[in-house]
Amino acid sequence: MFKEIVKPRKPAVNWDKIKLLAFDCDGVLTQGGIIYGNEGQELKDFDARDGLGFMMLRSTDIQTAVITGRTSEALARRCQDLKIDHVYQKIPYKLKLAEELLKKLGLGFENMLFMGDDWNDFPLMKAVAVSVCPADAAAGIPQLVDYVTQAKGGEGAVRECIEMVLKKKGIYEQAIQAYLARIS
C-alpha cells in the first residue's frame, strides 16, 4: 500500500475535490527506459496493470492527463488505447501547461493530483493539491511529495496511485463493480 508522508504546512486534502489525475510518462508510466528504434522512433514498455487502473476510472467523474517532456508515437498510441482525456507531449514547462489545462477545464490546482519522478516535475508537483512519486523516483523527490507508492515506475506505481485516489474518495468498490459490469 501507499506510504503517507504528513506535511504539517499543507492543509488536509479534500479528496472530493480531486477531479484531474495527471501523470508524467518516463519513470512513472514506464520504468524510464527509452528504446531508440532504427527508424528514429522511440519505444516504451508500459504496465498492463496501470492500464486497467485507467479503465477503473471510466465510471467516475475523474479526468486523466499525461504530461511529458519527450515525444513518442508509442505514448500517443498507449494514451489512445487507454482513453486518456488529455495528452501533452514535448512540454518543457509542465506547470505552465497545467495552468492552461486547468483554466480550460474550469478547474484549479486544488482539483489536481500530479505524479512525477524527477526534478522537471517538481514545479508542478509543488503547485497541485496532491503530489505523488513512485518508489524509485530521483533522489530527493520522495521527501518532497505527499505520497510515495510502494511500486516502482512502470511496475504498477500508477495503478497504486489510482487505487489510492479511489479509496480516499470512497468509490473503490464501486469503480471495480462498474468495470466488471462493462466486461461481463
27 binds Mg ion (CB under 5 A): yes
Is 43 in contact with 37 (CB distance < 8 Å)?
A: yes
Which of residues 2, 20, 21, 26 is near Mg ion by CB under 5 A? 26
Give the three cell numbers for residue 151.
511500486
- CA dist 37 → 3, 34, 76, 89, 98 (Å): 37, 10, 16, 19, 31
The dihedral built from the CA positions of residue 143, 144, 147 and 149, taken in this order, carries a sign that is: negative
Q: Which is nearer to Mg ion, 26 or 47 (CB)?
A: 26
CB of 136 to Mg ion, least distance (A): 11
**Residue 117 is a binding residue for Mg ion (CB under 5 A):** yes
Minimal distance in Å, beta carbon 29 to Mg ion? 9
Tell whether residue 156 is a contact of Mg ion (CB under 5 A): no
Dmax of the chain from CA atoms? Answer: 50
Question: Cell digits for 67?
Answer: 504530461
Q: Of 2, 24, 53, 67, which one interacts with Mg ion (CB under 5 A)?
A: 24
Q: Name which of 118 and 163 has its Cβ closer to Mg ion.
A: 118
By CB under 5 A, name the binding residues for Mg ion.
24, 26-27, 117-118
